[in-house]
Chain A
Amino acid sequence: MKWGMVIDLQKCTGCGECAAACKLENNVAIVAHKESEMGRTMLWMDMLTIYEGEYPRLRVRQIPRPCMHCDHPPCTKVCPVRATYINEEGIVAQIYPQCIGCRYCMAACPYTVKSFNWYKPSFPPGMARTTNPDVSVRPVGVVEKCTFCIHRLQIAREQAKSEARDLRENDYQPACGASCPTGAIVFGDLENANHQVNRLAHNPRATKLLEDLGTEPKVIYLKEVD
């Protein structure tokens, strides 16, 4: 079992629904404007801005960018306390109570997917009580990142077991995939031939970010057709 994601850029409109859903689902702290300008914005699912062509034929696109959950993750290799590691199912997990906040992993990640909690997490008035109880609110001084909504896997697996059946494809979907209005984000088991993600990963349009680094990302993009 190897969890992975396919993002079809032909279908993606860059609306940012996935980023908003992720932020709410995972209790990602909201950083004030001043701190945000210092590069301390916290986003697990970021929207990369890509500029194509030149004026007057300039085209700007937004591309969703979660954690790549690499098969050879550079972040886990530099963590001195094993707070980040890759598990048997290919998820690069982040264990917050173990993290000492050295930020080596942030420096090592070529995709810059990790965020550091510079401040005690704060939410606007009224929002503090709407945090998702299935996900912890991270304390100050630890690094956090996309976990492929692993809490949903924990819950889905328990539900499947209580019904004495195997985990189905739709049982476990991260918030970004579940919220995507155009169905551009597909999630599933890359090793299971019955999962849609397996078929899409072998599509000729499939590409990976910074593929030449050898990190073997498990987030696969499907290029646009011109």
Chain B
Amino acid sequence: MKHWELFVIPTFFLFFISGCSDSASFSQPIAYNHKKHIEEAGLGCFDCHTQVLTHQKANIPNVEFCKNCHETPMTDSKEEEKLVGYIQENQPIPWIQVHRVPDHAYFSHRRHVSLGKVACQDCHGDVNNMTLPFSKPFYPIKMQFCITCHEKNRVNTDCATCHR
């Protein structure tokens, strides 16, 4: 083997591996701090994600909602400055959706949270202590994850309950 091959091949391999592992993570437009909002502002999950208990799909609040508190800056944080910029321009924050259930599966937040009394943390992880927004799902969105919980709680595991 030539000398240059000894260097080039492992380098390519490392690039390939690093590319694969990073492909599933995203960087969000604002470094939103869940912990601060929960502990210092005293907010709960459903104060901002208002549709969780009543709708199939959960929601991320829009700038109109954030404006209730952040119309003028409350701190000298650079991240808040970005938010205020979006509010003043009345532009939606380009959040990247991280948790995405495939369209062949029926998933309803209302059914799980409101009717099934599943805690948010059971699927989304320890959000209360998160200082940065989601860059990738806390738990992988795989069928086995759903089945494990359904079996543990003795809920219907018939395929057609969720598949469509």
Contacts and interface: CB of A to CB of B under 8 A. Distances in A.
A and B from one complex:
yes
Interface of A: 85, 87-88, 91, 93, 95-98, 133-137, 147, 150-151, 154-155, 158, 161-162
A162 B56 CA distance: 12
Contact of B161 (A96, A98, A134, A154): A154
A95 B110 contact: no
B5 interface: no
A95 B159 contact: yes
Given A95-B163, A97-B163, A150-B164, A88 B106 contact: no
B111 interface: yes
B159 A162 contact: no
Nearest to A152: B164
A88 B110 contact: no
8 contacts: A85-B159, A87-B160, A96-B104, A97-B163, A147-B160, A158-B56, A161-B115, A162-B114
Contacts of B76: none
B158 A88 contact: yes
A120 to B, nearest CB: 15
A211 B73 CA distance: 74
B110 A154 contact: no
A151 B104 CA distance: 10
Contact of A151 (B102, B158, B159, B164): B164
Contacts of B161: 154
B103 interface: yes
Nearest to A134: B164
B108 interface: yes
A93 B159 CA distance: 8
User: In terms of DSSP, what is the predominant structure of the interface of chain A?
Assistant: mixed
Contacts of B115: 158, 161-162
Interface residues of B, number: 17
Interface in B42-63: 56
Interface string B119-151: 000000000000000000000000000000000
A158 B110 contact: yes
B147 to A, nearest CB: 13
A172 B64 CA distance: 37
B110 A162 contact: yes
A93 B160 CA distance: 6
A99 to B, nearest CB: 11
Given A136-B103, A162-B114, 4 more contacts: A96-B104, A136-B164, A151-B106, A158-B56
Contacts of B108: 158
3 smallest CB-CB distances across A and B, nearest first, come from A136-B104, A93-B160, A151-B164
B54 to A, nearest CB: 8
A136 B164 CA distance: 6
Scoring B56, B115, B162, B163 by chain A CB atoms within 10 A of each residue's CB, the highest score goes to: B163
A48 to B, nearest CB: 26
A100 B114 CA distance: 36
A91 B104 CA distance: 17
B103 A133 contact: yes
Interface in B68-114: 102-104, 106, 108, 110-111, 114
Contacts of B103: 133, 136-137
Scoring B104, B110, B115 by chain A CB atoms within 10 A of each residue's CB, the highest score goes to: B104
Nearest to B161: A154
Nearest to B108: A158
Contacts of A87: 158-160
A150 B114 CA distance: 22
Contacts of A133: 103
Nearest to A158: B111
